[in-house]
Amino acid sequence: MSESIRDKVAVVGVGCTKFGDLYDSTYEDQVCDAAFAAFDDAGLGPDDVDAAYVGTYLPHSQGGKAGISLADPLRLYGKPITRVENFCATGTDAFRNACLSIVSGQHDVVLVVGSEKLKDRPGRGIPRIGHQVLGKGNTAPGLFALAANRYMHEFGVTRSTLAKVAVKNHWNGKRNALSHLRMEVTEEQVLNAPMIAWPFGLFDCCPTTDGAAAAIVCRPEIARKLGKDYALVKGAALAVATGRPYYDPTFDYLGFRSTQAAAKAAYEQAGIAPSDVDLAEVHDCFTWTEITNVEDLGFFPKGEGWKAVEEGKTRVDGSIPINPSGGLKSFGHPIGASGVRMIYECVKQLRGQCGERQVKDPEIALAHNVGGPGAVSCVVVLGGAG
């Protein structure tokens, strides 16, 4: 393998807006709120930044189309700013690129911002792209539902197990002041909610959300001089698989190969095994997705992630807490911001700053996104400075 980035990048500041229906906040407002929260956290300012990366999946008239959507609101003129878009892995990939720019020696301090305005768009939902026939009329819930049905048939899983994922993540999100759906739900509510695409009811699906998150990365020696409580990047890996798995007769629809590959690479960079991870923020765009993701990430064998949910292993007080933030399911999913928001949560957890949903004494945290669905995945491993 090429040279690892392990412990060569520090996350010295993080910030996040409230997620939700932010009709009174513009794209630029969100960028500023998240970025300046990260600046305050790091004890730095815009003038200290050498470069920046902005993650946005669906740009529109309010911003996100290019680096200027970060340069103008923050007055970061004359500096390299790159827009990143990579399906639901947009935010984590922007973060990965920022880390690589530090390790390459090009920059000392880099800002990452993920931001999305989805609630005040003229069209409903996320526009579909791809094959002109096979892609016509499909939706994200419908596509993931196809794989969920295959998994449930193969392993004998019922909707009750999926509902337990929603109950857990809403319990966590209720205790997170920034989450979009800050409420608890019961298993009965989840099972009786309106059906969206079988087996997914309304509470099996993450909400469409506005929001932004930011992180500041730098060389570890700079972080030490700042005297801040920082985290170290142990690994950051991206993997891309086919966006047309229905053409591949060997694809079993029981998991996502991009996640499996990205996780393997990230663990190798970090020099750890899945069992070394103390908590994980994983891509729970739907309840079943969390279950297959924890298997693809190596926390449980294929076909046994659902048992871990039933046994409570993925709760905040379980053996491997999953989505202590509330996840996409409760925190919300502004696509370009979600990955950076996961970094925010991981850093806060490693610092011990998460209150009632704090995981006990974490040393290694993982952030994971998968999108496409299943075509692209990014995995970031973070550790405390020690």
Per-residue pLDDT tens digits for 330-341 = 999 999 999 999
Q: Per the residue annotation, which of 88, 206, 346, 378 is the catalytic one?
A: 88
How far, in Å, CA of 54 to CA of 67, rounded? 7
State residue 266's pLDDT score.
98
State residue 65's pLDDT score.
86
Catalytic annotation present for 333: yes
- Among candidates 3, 4, 2, 91, which has minimal Cα distance to 267? 4
How far, in Å, CA of 33 to CA of 66, rounded? 19
Mean pLDDT for the chain overall: 94
Buried-state track 330-362, b at ≥16 Cβ within 10 A, e below 16 = bbbbbbbbbbbbbbbbbbbbbbeebeebbbeeb
Bridge partners, 109 (sequence order): 218
Catalytic annotation present for 205: no
| pLDDT > 70 fraction of the chain, expressed in percent and rounded | 95
Query: Contact, 39 vs 45, CB < 8 A?
Result: yes
Buried-state track 135-153, b at ≥16 Cβ within 10 A, e below 16 = eeeeebbebbbebbbebbe
State residue 4's pLDDT score.
84
Averaged pLDDT for residues 271-284: 98
Q: Residue 274: exposed, middle, or buried by beta-carbon count in 10 A (0-12, 13-18, 19+)? A: middle
How far, in Å, CA of 323 to CA of 138, rounded? 28
Bridge partners, 16 (sequence order): 213
How far, in Å, CA of 305 to CA of 314, rounded? 9
pLDDT grade, residue 135 (50/70/90)?
low
Domain ranges for the chain, please list them.
Answer: 10-119+206-384
Least confidently predicted of 129-133, 165-169, 199-203, 219-223:
129-133
Q: Per the residue annotation, which of 333, 346, 368, 378 is the catalytic one?
A: 333
How far, in Å, CA of 383 to CA of 221, rounded? 16
Does the structure show a pLDDT above 60 at 158? Answer: yes
Averaged pLDDT for residues 145-163: 97
Does the structure show a pLDDT above 80 at 3? Answer: no
Kind plus residue range of the DSSP H or E element containing 368: strand 364-371
Flag whether the pTM goes above 0.75. Answer: yes
CATH T-level assignment (fold) for domain 10-119+206-384:
Peroxisomal Thiolase; Chain A, domain 1 (3.40.47)
